[in-house]
Amino acid sequence: MRIRGLHKAALIALCLAFPFICTIPSRAHVVLLLEEPYGFFGKVIPVGHTAIYLEKVCAETPLKLRRCIPGEWGTVLTRNNGMGGYGWVAIPLIPYLYSVENLSEVPAKADRPTIWRLRRRYHEAHLKHALGGKIDVGNLFHGGWGLLIGMAYERRMYAFSFETTREQDDALIAKMNARQNHSRFDFLYNNCSDMARNVLNNYFPNAFPRNYYFDAGITTPKSVARRLVRVARRHSEMQLSVLQIPQIPGYRRNSRRSRGALEALVTTPAVVPIAIVSPIAAGGLFADYVLRGGFRLIPRNLPEVHPDNLAALTPLPAPPRISASDETTSTAIEISKPLEEVASAEPHRDMP
């Protein structure tokens, strides 16, 4: 929730007068949001969506970044088809998830009129003029500003959170603001996952290349998340953890699990023409899927992040582990699934 008006000015003045009160921690978090597919399009092409949440980076406008001041929640970088040619758009975390600015306004269960009332209200107040009227509401085949806010009503998400430094965030802000924010969306080779991959490469240079073997060079949300887990194995300082953000019920049917490009191909009717033309090629694709494409990325029984505990999305460093026999076991230990549980999860194909 953004601090506005006099409250924001008063807080800035307080921080300038008494710097020790508003000391900004040197550590921050970046969260890769792996978002499940939904609706008709998600059934035909079940790869889902991905976005990047930056805990200490905020949106000066939807097209310009700055460092957050205390009390702000950070921002989500996202892109989709029909976004007016922009390479990314920055939306504060709470509106991105729930279409509101105050968590107390999030409905426990929502119908279609309620969801679109909240979306239109936020769009009129914060997006319509800031984006120059270049983005319409969108539809089944063409994305729009309706895909920028209220995503928790559409689908379940998995949050892969890792630690960064203030210096890394500042470098990203400078680079994103200096670079021309115009890019033609391409579903295969310049999509939301490519945007996420490029942002992550700023934190870990060249660590997120395209996968030409298993995904034919097509970047998918699942392939980015899988790569992030591998990078975290080599960088223990990242403190990678995984949480889930449940879908708010009442608006849509439950979303489906995300699949990689190869996985989506061999588990949908799209594989039938390939099998007819070349059974050998179809068999090879299926063998690749069995060997690696169906690897279970999401652990079972993940802790959930709801509006009333949204701060858990960026957990504090975990305290020392306490044995099961210790009667003083801290609940903070159970705040998220650590990397070792993600990396060692058995290869199942079904998400919880």
Q: Check residue 15 and give its pLDDT.
A: 52
Residue 335 has pLDDT above 80, yes or no: no
Average pLDDT of the chain to the nearest whole number = 77
Quick one: average pLDDT of 281-310? Answer: 70
Three-state secondary-structure class, residue 211:
coil
Q: Does 147 or 20 have the greater pLDDT score?
A: 147
Quick one: average pLDDT of 14-29? Answer: 55
Percent of the chain scoring above 90 in pLDDT: 43
Q: Does 132 or 345 have the greater pLDDT score?
A: 132
Percent of the chain scoring above 70 in pLDDT: 66
Residue 296 has pLDDT above 80, yes or no: no
Quick one: average pLDDT of 261-289? Answer: 54
E runs forming strands in the chain: 27-35, 49-54, 57-61, 64-67, 75-78, 89-92, 157-165, 241-245, 337-338
Q: Check residue 298 and give its pLDDT.
A: 80
Quick one: average pLDDT of 222-230? Answer: 91
Quickly state the pLDDT bin for 349 (edges 50, 70, 90).
Answer: very low
Residue 22 has pLDDT above 60, yes or no: no
Token duo for residue 182: 């115009």
DSSP 8-state secondary structure symbol assigned to residue 299: P
Q: What is the pLDDT of residues 61-82, one digit of tens each?
A: 999 999 999 989 999 999 988 8
DSSP 8-state secondary structure symbol assigned to residue 71: T
Buried-state track 38-68, b at ≥16 Cβ within 10 A, e below 16: beeebeebbbbbbbbbbbbbbbeebbebebb
Residue 303 has pLDDT above 60, yes or no: yes
Q: What is the pLDDT of residues 146-199, one digit of tens each?
A: 889 999 999 999 999 999 999 999 999 999 999 989 888 888 888 999 999 999
Quickly state the pLDDT bin for 12 (edges 50, 70, 90).
Answer: low
Q: Does 206 or 267 have the greater pLDDT score?
A: 206
Q: Domain residue spans in the chain?
A: 24-343
Distance CA 146, CA 162 (A): 28
Token duo for residue 82: 């029909």
Residue 217 has pLDDT above 90, yes or no: no
Residue 204 has pLDDT above 70, yes or no: yes
Q: What is the pLDDT of residues 122-155, one digit of tens each?
A: 999 999 888 877 788 877 667 789 889 999 999 9
